Structure 1
Amino acid sequence: MKIGTRLGGAFLLVTLLTTVLTLASLATLSQIGRHWVGFSDNVMVKQEYATQGYIKLGDGVQNFKNYVLRGGAYDKGFIADMDAISALVGQYRNLGATPQEQALLDRLDAGQRQYREAIAKAQALKAGGATVADIDAAISGADKALAAALSGLLAIAHEGAESTGANISTAIGSGKMVATAVGVVVAVLAIVFGVLATRSITRPMREAVTIAKTVAAGDLSSSITATGRDETGDLLRALKEMNESLKTVVGDVRTGSDTIATASTQIAGGNLDLSARTEQQASSLEQTAAAMEQITSTVKRNADSARQANQLAAAASDVASRGGAVVAQVVDTMGEINASAGKIADIIGVIDGIAFQTNILALNAAVEAARAGEQGRGFAVVATEVRNLAQRSAIAAKEIKGLISESVEKVGHGSQLVQHAGSTMEEIVASVRRVTDMMSEISAASGEQEAGIEEVNRAIAQMDTVTQKNAALVEEAAAATESLRDQARKLTGSVSVFRLGHPGAVRSMVQLA
C-alpha cells in the first residue's frame, strides 16, 4: 500500500471518528437546546406570567386599600389590575397548560370572580358610609384563593425550571461521557495508526539512509533488496538502480582514465616530435626569408634599372619623334623650294620670250628707220639700243635659266635625299618606339615581379608568424597534455576509493609516465 494511501486512510479514520465525536457533541447540544428552548419559551414565560399576576394582585390590593382610605380614582387602578390578571391568565392558557395548571387557572378565575364580588360589596358599603373596619371585615380573606392559585402556578414554574436544569445537567453529563469515550477511541486509534504508519515509513527510510551513506563512503558492493510496493520501496529500488549505474559509471571512468593516460602519453610524444619539426620549419622559413630578401633586393635593383632605361628610351623616342618632325618639315620645305624654282624657270622663260620678241621688234624698227633715212636715224639708234638690251636680256635670261635648271636639279636631288632621310627617320622613330614599348613592358614586368616577390615575402612572414604561433600552440598543447595526464592520475585516484565488488572493477594499475 502506498504511503499516501496509508496516511490518507489514517487521516480518514481520524476524520470519521472526529466526525462521530462532533455528531455526538452536536446531539448533546441539540438536546440541551431543546430543553433550553422548552424552558425559555414555556416555563420561563409561565413563571413570568404568574409573577406578573402576583404583582398585579398586590397592586390591586394596594389600590383598593387606597380607595377605601382615600377614595377618589383608586378603584379604577384596582379594576385595571384585575383586568391585567385576567389577560395574563388568558396568555398562560395560550401557552398550553397541564391538567394541574388548568385546575389552578380555573381556581384563579373563580378566585378572581369572588374577589371582584367582594370588592363590589366593599364599594357598596363605602358608598353607604360604612366604616373602614366594616369594609375590611367584608373583604377580609377574599384575595386568599386568588393568591393561592398564583402561588401554585409559581410553584409549578419553579418545578419546571428545576426539571429543565436537571435535564440539561443530565444531557451535559451524557455528552461528556460520549465525548470522552469517542475522544479516547480517536486518540488510541490515531496513536496506533500513527505508530504503524511511522514504522512503515521510517524503517525503509533508515535503510535508504544507510545505503546512501555506504555509497557516499565509496562502497558500491552493497546488495540492495526492495520488496515494498510503496514510495519507500520505490526509493530503495531507485537507490539500487543508482548503485548499479554508479558501478557502471565508475568502471567506465576507470577504463576511460586509463585510456586517457595512455593517449595523453602518446600525445605528449607526438607533441614533442611536432615541436621539433615546427622548430625546423621555423629555421627553414628564416633561411627562405633571408634568401627572398636578397632576391627582393636584386629584383628591386633590376626594376630600378628597367625604369631608368624605360625613361631613357622614352626620352630617345621623344627626340627621334622631334627629329622625324623636323625632317618632315625639311622635306616639305624642299618641296616648296622645288615648286618655287619651277615657277622661277617659267618666269625666266617668259622673260626670254619677251626679250626675243623685243629683239624682233627692235630689228623691225631698225629696218623701218633705215627706210626713213635721216628722219629715222634717231629712232634707229634707239631701236639699236633696245635690240642690244633685248639681246643682253636674252643672254642673261639663258644664263639664269641654266642656273635655275641646275638649282632645280640639285633641289630635286636634295628633296629625294631629304625624303629618304625622312623615311629613315620614321623607321628610327618606329624602332625607338618599339624599344620604348619593350622597355615599358620590361619595367611593368619588373614591377609585377617586385610586387609578387613582396607578396611572397609577406606570405613567408605570415608563414613564419603562423609557425611561431604553431610552436607556441604546440607548447601549450604539451602543457595541456601534461595537465591531462595529471588529471587522469587524479581521476584514477578519485575513482579508486569506490569498491565495486566484482572482478571487472579491479583498480587500475596503469603507471602514468
Structure 2
Amino acid sequence: MGFIASLRVRSRLLGSFGIVLLLLVAVSWLGVSSLSQSYARLKDVFDNNIEPLRQLDKISYLTQRNRILVMDALMNPEPGNIQKRTDEMAKNATEIDKQWKAYLATEITPAEQKIIPGFEAALKVYREEGLVPAREALKANDIDKARSHYRDISRLAPALNEAQLALIDVQVDLAAQDMQAAEASFHRTRNLIIGFAVIALLLGAGLAVVIARSIVTPVWQAVRVARRVAEGDLTESRIERRGDELGELLTALDEMRSELRGIVGRVRQGADGVATGSREIASGNQDLSARTENQASALEETASAMEELGATVGHNADAAQQANQLAQAASTVAVRGGEQVADVVSTMNDINAASRKISDIIGTIDGIAFQTNILALNAAVEAARAGEQGRGFAVVAGEVRLLAQRSAEAAREIKSLIAASVERVERGTAIVNQAGTTMTEVVDSIRRVTDLMGEISSASQEQSRGVAQVGEAVTSMDQTTQQNAALVEQMAAAASSLRQQADELVGTMARFRF
C-alpha cells in the first residue's frame, strides 16, 4: 500500500491496467493455443480416423453393391441387364482399389498394420474366387456357373466383412482415444482459463480496491479542505503529504487556504479600520453639521444686523446730506454777513438757531457713528468666527469701523466748532465791534464746516457702499453656509451608508475562522 501510494496516479492506473491486460493476453493466448490444439486434433481425427472410416465404408458399400449386382443379374439374366451390371461391377472394383490406396496413404497405426494383411488377403480371395469368376460367367451368359460363384461370394463375404470391421473398430478406438485426449485437454484448458480468470479477477479487484483507496482517500481530504474553506474555516488542517498528483492537489489546496487566510485577515483588519474610520467620520460629520447650523444661524443674525446697519447708514447719509446743505447755507449767510453787518444781530440769532440745530444733527451723526462702530465690531467678531470664509467680510468690517471712527471724530470736531460758534453768537452783541474779524473767522469756520460736511457726506456714501458690500458678502456667506450644510448632510448620509457597509463587511469577515 505504501509503495502504491508513493507512485503517481498515472503510473498506478497504467500499471493496474497493464497487469489486467497482461492477464487478459495470457488467458487469450491460452484459449487460442487450446483452440489450435483442438483444431489440430480434430483435423488429425478427420484425416486419420474419419476419412479412413469413410474409405472403409465406401469399400464395404461397393463390395456389398457388387454382390447385389450379381444377384440382380442372376434374377434378370437378360443380356442388356447382365452387361450393365457387369460393367458397374468392374467400375466398382476399380473404385474399391482407389479407396484402398487412399486408405493406405493415411497414417497407419501398428494395430492397423496387423489387420491390413488379413483384410487384403480376404479381399483378394473374395475377388478371385467369388466376384471375378461370377462376373466372367455372367459375361459368358453361364447362369448356372455364375449362380455357383455367387454362393462362393456369400461364403467369402463374412471373412472380408470381419477384417473390414476390425479396421473400422481400430479407427473407432483411435477416435475414442483422440476424443478422450481432447476431453482431457478441454478440462485442463478450462481449468487453466478459470484459474487465470480467477487470478485476474482477484488481482484486478485487489488492485481496484487499493488504487481506489489510494485515490479516494486524498480526494476526500481535498473535499473536506474545500468544504472547510467554503464554510469559512481557514484554520490549519492536517493533510497527508504524498508524492503523486493528488498530493500536489492537497498541497495546492493547503497553500490556497493559507494564502486565503492571509488575504481574509488583511481584509478583516481593513474592514475593522474602515468601520472605525466610518464611525469617526459619521461622528465628525454630525459635529460639523451642528457647527454649520450654528454658523448659518450666526450668519442669519449677522445679515439681520447688517440690514439694520444699512438702514442706520442710510439715515446717516441723509443727515449728512442735510448737514452739508445747512453748511452751504451757513457759508452763504456768512458771506452775506460781511455785507450786512447791520443785520448781524438778527443774522447771529439765525446762526445761533442753525448752530443749535446743527449741534443736534451732529449729535445724531455722532450716535450713528457710534452705532456703526459697534455694528462693525460685531461684524468683525462674526467674521473671525466664520474663519477662512469670513476673511473678506472681516476686511470690509474693518473699513466700515474705520469710517465710523472717522465720522465720529469729524462729528466731534463739528460739535466743538458749533459750540464755539454758539458761544460767539451769544457774545455777538457784546463784540459787535469785532464783527468784521469775527465774521472772517466765521467764514473760515463755515468753510471748514462745509469741507467737513463734504467729507462726512462722502464718508457716509462710502460707508453705505461698504455696508452694501458687507451685506452682499454676508448673503454670499449665508448661501455658501447653506450649501455647506447640504454637503455636510450628504456627507453624513454617505458616512452612515459607509458605516453600514463596513459593519456588513465586518460581519461577513467574522464568518471566517483563523
Residue 256 (str. 1) matches residue 270 (str. 2): yes
Q: Is the 8 A contact 1:268 1:482 kept in 2?
A: yes
Q: Is the 8 A contact 1:122 1:138 kept in 2?
A: no
List per-residue Cα deviations over 1:406-427 (Å, max 9, x = no partner): xxxxxxxxxxxxxxxxxxxxxx
Rounded Cα–Cα distance in structure 1 between residues aligned with 2:150 and 2:16: 83
Q: 1:82 aligns with which of 90, 93, 96?
A: 93
Q: CA RMSD in A?
A: 3.5
Corresponding residue for residue 225 of structure 2: 211
Rounded Cα–Cα distance in structure 2 between residues aligned with 1:474 and 1:157: 122
State the shift of 1:478 in Å: 5.8
Percent identical residues: 28
Rounded Cα–Cα distance in structure 2 between residues aligned with 1:479 and 1:56: 126
State the shift of 1:54 in Å: 1.2
Residue 172 (str. 1) matches residue 183 (str. 2): no
Cα gap change, 1:83/1:36 in structure 2, threshold over 3 Å: closer, same or farther? same
Rounded Cα–Cα distance in structure 2 between residues aligned with 1:238 and 1:4: 19
Corresponding residue for residue 330 of structure 2: none
Taking structure 2 as the reference length, the TM-score comes to: 0.54
Corresponding residue for residue 162 of structure 1: 176
Q: 2:132 aligns with which of 108, 115, 120?
A: 120
Q: 1:242 aligns with which of 247, 251, 256?
A: 256
Larger radius of gyration: 1
Q: 1:202 aligns with which of 213, 216, 238?
A: 216
What SS does the corresponding residue of 2:144 show, helix, strand or coil? coil
The answer for unaligned runs of 5 or more in structure 2 is 1-6, 300-478
Q: Is the 8 A contact 2:67 2:153 kept in 1?
A: no
State the shift of 1:161 in Å: 1.8
Between 98-107 and 176-185, report the one with greater CA deviation. Answer: 98-107
User: One-letter code of the match for 2:199?
Assistant: V
Residue 19 (str. 1) matches residue 25 (str. 2): yes
User: One-letter code of the match for 1:154?
Assistant: I
List per-residue Cα deviations over 1:87-114 (Å, max 9, x = no partner): 1112222233334434544444433332
List per-residue Cα deviations over 1:100-151 (Å, max 9, x = no partner): 4345444444333322322233345554452675343343423334323322
Rounded Cα–Cα distance in structure 1 between residues aligned with 2:503 and 2:223: 31
What SS does the corresponding residue of 1:32 show, helix, strand or coil? helix
Corresponding residue for residue 107 of structure 2: 96
Corresponding residue for residue 64 of structure 1: 70
State the shift of 1:176 in Å: 1.4
List per-residue Cα deviations over 1:245-289 (Å, max 9, x = no partner): 121111111122123334545666798879979xx9xx9xxxxxx
List per-residue Cα deviations over 1:15-71 (Å, max 9, x = no partner): 222222222222222221211121123321111111111111111110111122223
User: One-letter code of the match for 1:111?
Assistant: A
Corresponding residue for residue 53 of structure 2: 47
What SS does the corresponding residue of 1:219 show, helix, strand or coil? coil
Residue 190 (str. 1) matches residue 190 (str. 2): no
Rounded Cα–Cα distance in structure 1 between residues aligned with 2:11 and 2:109: 59
Rounded Cα–Cα distance in structure 2 between residues aligned with 1:43 and 1:33: 14
State the shift of 1:170 in Å: 0.6
Rounded Cα–Cα distance in structure 2 between residues aligned with 1:15 and 1:53: 54
Rounded Cα–Cα distance in structure 1 between residues aligned with 2:215 and 2:136: 100
Q: Is the 8 A contact 2:125 2:156 kept in 1?
A: yes
Corresponding residue for residue 40 of structure 2: 34
Corresponding residue for residue 195 of structure 2: 181
Rounded Cα–Cα distance in structure 2 between residues aligned with 1:29 and 1:471: 104
Rounded Cα–Cα distance in structure 2 between residues aligned with 1:274 and 1:41: 120
Residue 229 (str. 1) matches residue 254 (str. 2): no
List per-residue Cα deviations over 1:322-354 (Å, max 9, x = no partner): xxxxxxxxxxxxxxxxxxxxxxxxxxxxxxxxx
Taking structure 1 as the reference length, the TM-score comes to: 0.54
What SS does the corresponding residue of 1:130 show, helix, strand or coil? helix
